[in-house]
Amino acid sequence: MSNESSVAAERGTSQASGPNHTPSPKNTVSKNTVSKDTRRRVVTASFIGNFVEWFDYAVYGYLAGIISSVFFPESDRQTALLATFGVFAISFFVRPLGGFIWGHIGDRLGRKQALSLSIVLMSVATFCIALIPGYATIGVMAPILLLLVRVVQGFSAAGEYAGASAFLVEYAPANRRGLYAAVVPASTAAGLLLGSLLAALLSSVLTAEQLNEWGWRLPFLLAAPMGLIGRYIRTKLEDTPAFRELAEKDTAVKAPAFAMFRTYRKQLIIATGAVLLNAVGFYVILSYMPTYLSEELGFGATESFLATTIALASYIGFIFLTGIASDKFGRKRMLLTASALFILLTVPAFMLLDTRNFLVIVLVQILLGGMLTLNDGTLPSFLAELFPTKVRYTGFAVSFNLSNALFGGTAPFMATLLIGMTHSKLAPGWYLVAAALVSLIAVLFAAETSKKPLQQD
């Protein structure tokens, strides 16, 4: 870029090494001067692109109750809902594969290339959901087509969160990487927020018959124009200074996945465990909750969506404060605090939800969302800093998507199944406690990363 000049090299440290480790010259990263205007455009592109992807992906969760009646044969309500969430979960199983492929593209060809392709796939797949006829029209082909499109969505989403996080961290000032990376979960929540608002609006202005016949398709139709906007913005950016330096020196690894497994196994195990609270918490608290409130606690659909919408708005505000705090106090301390709070407070919070008082439900969701931001606002920078530039996209994408495939995408299904098996409405809360315990143990084995320069190789 014309406004960038090379300055003194910044020392890199191996995340697996101890605090007194002195890096060799090959582990240094040249720090480039990046203009404020460039950083603003990077933040905007990352926010909009991730927002579009996760709006597309989240609408399915918010409209699960209606989708179950459109795409599956009539049976008892819980069976249809389980089938709908089963499709939701199956789409996650391709995400580890997507993590390897998008990671390979991002570490070999560039972060920009991977992000520009992923948003197109997601938008096309989401738009296609709006066009699939229901079970009453084409029978068993309806859920089959729905599953195929959801698989494409899952594959696409596998590259988005990791790529946007790496993109922001590699462009951010060294002392503000946590704040910059917090844009990713904020944009994700913003996509959920728009989905929640649209679901609440459609539920309030359309009759149940209109909503089931055609109203539910409207949010999916927005995918195409929003995706085109996101792709256009991303194509106008250069790749990150860190990746461009690898490309210029021709030191990018040919097989990032093999390099990751060969040299960075410890980081991969820590990262996969650390992601678990995010994987379960995000989908239980911010995606499954409207269904839980309406299907399990008997709340009206409009009230359920409204409560979640308020919680999402507060989540977005809290997430940036968490990013700032992680820059000041460190990633490890923030992640451990989040896990401890979930272990102690989740089950009591779910008990309060059963009071069925709207104000109490809103306050509990804000509390749970606030606790989740301590984790989610820290996790992107933590994971990006854990791996060196040459395998950063791959390491982040594989660990993040592996946890999400096994435990995140299955969270709504498991919550519904556990309630049915135990006949306890507290089952989702206990599931969250278990996830928090695993994350706490994983983070205990991690080194602090916030005060260290990004490692090149």
| 155-213: pLDDT as tens digits | 888 888 899 999 999 999 989 999 999 999 999 888 878 877 787 788 788 888 888 88
Q: Beta partners for 30?
A: 9
Q: List the one residue out of 454, 442, 450, 446 whose CA is nearest residue 388.
A: 454
Q: pTM score, two decimals?
A: 0.81
Residue with the larger pLDDT of the pair 183 and 451: 183
Residue 21's pLDDT band (cuts 50, 70, 90): very low
In this prediction, residue 26 carries a pLDDT of 43
For residue 9, is pLDDT > 50? no
For residue 112, is pLDDT > 80? yes
Is residue 436 within 8 A of residue 347, CB to CB? The reply is no
Give the pLDDT mean for 273-278.
96
Average model confidence (pLDDT) across the chain: 83
Give the separation between CA 249 and CA 247, rounded to whole angstroms: 5
In this structure, are strands 29-32 and 6-10 parallel, antiparallel, or unpaired? antiparallel
Using the structure block, give the residue that is written with the tokens 């660990």: 399
| Distance (Å) of CA 34 to CA 37, 104, 109, 240 | 8, 26, 21, 10
For residue 24, is pLDDT > 60? no
Using the structure block, give the residue that is written with the tokens 């906007």: 229
Is residue 211 within 8 A of residue 66, CB to CB? The reply is yes
For residue 94, is pLDDT > 60? yes
In this prediction, residue 209 carries a pLDDT of 84
Q: What is the pLDDT of residues 294-338, one digit of tens each?
A: 878 877 777 777 787 788 888 888 999 999 999 999 999 999 999
Counting every residue, how long is the chain? 457
Tokens of 442: 């994983």
Q: What is the pLDDT of residues 49-75, one digit of tens each?
A: 788 777 876 677 677 778 877 887 766
As a whole-number percent, the residues of the chain with pLDDT over 90 amount to 34
For residue 8, is pLDDT > 70? no
For residue 34, is pLDDT > 80? no
How many CB atoms neighbour CB 25 within 10 A? 8
Give the pLDDT mean for 12-40.
52
In this prediction, residue 380 carries a pLDDT of 95
Give the separation between CA 284 and CA 302, rounded to whole angstroms: 18
Give the separation between CA 382 and CA 160, rounded to whole angstroms: 17
In this prediction, residue 3 carries a pLDDT of 39
| Distance (Å) of CA 298 to CA 44, 291, 302, 403 | 40, 10, 12, 31
Choices 3.40.50.720, 3.30.70.1150, 3.10.690.10, 1.20.1250.20: CATH for 35-444: 1.20.1250.20
Q: What is the pLDDT of residues 364-387, one digit of tens each?
A: 999 999 999 999 999 999 999 999
Is residue 273 within 8 A of residue 441, CB to CB? The reply is yes
Give the separation between CA 6 and CA 30, rounded to whole angstroms: 7
In this prediction, residue 78 carries a pLDDT of 64
In this prediction, residue 457 carries a pLDDT of 63
Residue with the larger pLDDT of the pair 8 and 202: 202
